[in-house]
Amino acid sequence: MSHPLQAFMLSSEPFYQSKGDEVEQYRAAYQQKLPVLLKGPTGCGKTRFVEHMAYTLGKPLISVACNEDMAASDLMGRFLLNEQGTQWIDGPLTLAARHGGICYLDEVVEARQDTTVVIHALTDYRRRILLEKINEVVEAHPDFQLVVSYNPGYQSLVKDLKPSTRQRFISFEFDFPDAETEATILIRETQLNLDSCRLLVEIAQVGRRLKGHGLTEGISTRLLVNAAHLINQGIGFSDACQLALISPVTDDAEIADTLRHAVQAMS
């Protein structure tokens, strides 16, 4: 009989380049049933890390992209009407807790604060979730783990995790890797040549130095991968940088010109 969460098992290993002892530390956290918080800038590898760990541990991964319209029922479940009548359908959080999966709430602070309260009973000694609408208490499966992520540099004071929530997690801090490691990641992800990968990383570092000085977010590793894919498809280096690195991060003409000049100088 197949696992109830078989559809959420990763079929191939996602590549992740470790930067320290985070793989072993995460494994220890999972073994001790500790909830995990991942902090770091957009596109630095938080999601890939969770995917890699889920695959390594052989556990199903249910990912949820949080947004400001997300209600508690979106995580817990709701009644839906089908051919058999009204039926309760577990939400992703309940599904993972009931059957033993890793539930990953990406950018959790984007969800309404009253929504995030529902995770409290799953992140302490109780490890349970109360489904009031069907009068059921779901005791978390031994294999269940909750992982959340957010970008503290991007969020405002209005959107932040309450201390009562964040202190329920152990926290991993992520940042962009050093230049050589990032170039190695690009080669592995895209098979682009080393020289071009190094150039892309240099341009990204110029953009990252502008964060807080005209840029809200720096150029992420994710964007570098997009640029590399365009180059592999025959798009010129400068055009690929414009399409994948410059236009996505700014609408400010002066900042865009600064980045274009950096591309021209380096290429």
- What is the tens place of the pLDDT at every residue in 33-57? 999 999 999 899 999 999 999 999 9
Same domain, residue pair 96 and 196: no
Q: Which of 133, 151, 173 finishes a domain? A: 173
Q: What pTM does this model have?
A: 0.90
* DSSP element (H, E) containing 224: helix 221-232
Same domain, residue pair 80 and 204: no
Same domain, residue pair 51 and 25: yes
Separation between Cα atoms, residue 231 and residue 212, nearest integer Å: 29
Same domain, residue pair 112 and 205: no
Tally of structural domains, the chain: 2
The domain of 195 spans 179-266
Q: Which of 173, 197, 229 finishes a domain? A: 173
- From residue 139, alpha-carbon distances to 74, 100, 126 in Å are 19, 10, 8
Q: What is the bridge-based pairing of β-strands 128-131 and 77-82?
A: unpaired
Same domain, residue pair 220 and 256: yes
Buried b (16+ CB within 10 A) or exposed e, 45-60: bbbbbbbbbbbbbebb
Choose among 174, 201, 192, 183: nearest CA to 235: 192
CATH number of the domain residue 160 falls in: 3.40.50.300
* pLDDT surpassing 60 at residue 158: no
Q: Is residue 1 a part of any domain in this protein?
A: no
Q: What pLDDT is attached to residue 157?
A: 45
Q: Is residue 43 a part of any domain in this protein?
A: yes
Same domain, residue pair 19 and 117: yes
Q: Is residue 242 a part of any domain in this protein?
A: yes
Q: What is the DSSP letter of 68?
A: T
Q: What pLDDT is attached to residue 93?
A: 97
Q: What pLDDT is attached to residue 217?
A: 85
The predicted-structure confidence for 60-111, as pLDDT tens digits, reads as follows 999 999 998 998 999 999 999 888 889 999 999 999 999 999 999 999 988 8
Same domain, residue pair 71 and 200: no
Buried b (16+ CB within 10 A) or exposed e, 152-173: eeeeeeeeebeeebbebbeebe
Q: Is residue 54 a part of any domain in this protein?
A: yes
Q: Averaged over 183-200, what is the pLDDT?
A: 96
| Chain centroid, CA 209 distance in Å | 23
Q: What pLDDT is attached to residue 153?
A: 66
Same domain, residue pair 69 and 45: yes
Q: Which of 115, 144, 173 finishes a domain? A: 173
Q: What pLDDT is attached to residue 159?
A: 65
Same domain, residue pair 219 and 158: no
Choose among 176, 218, 178: nearest CA to 198: 178
The answer to whether 65 and 42 are in contact (CB under 8 A) is no
Q: Is residue 219 a part of any domain in this protein?
A: yes
The answer to whether 212 and 154 are in contact (CB under 8 A) is no
Same domain, residue pair 235 and 193: yes
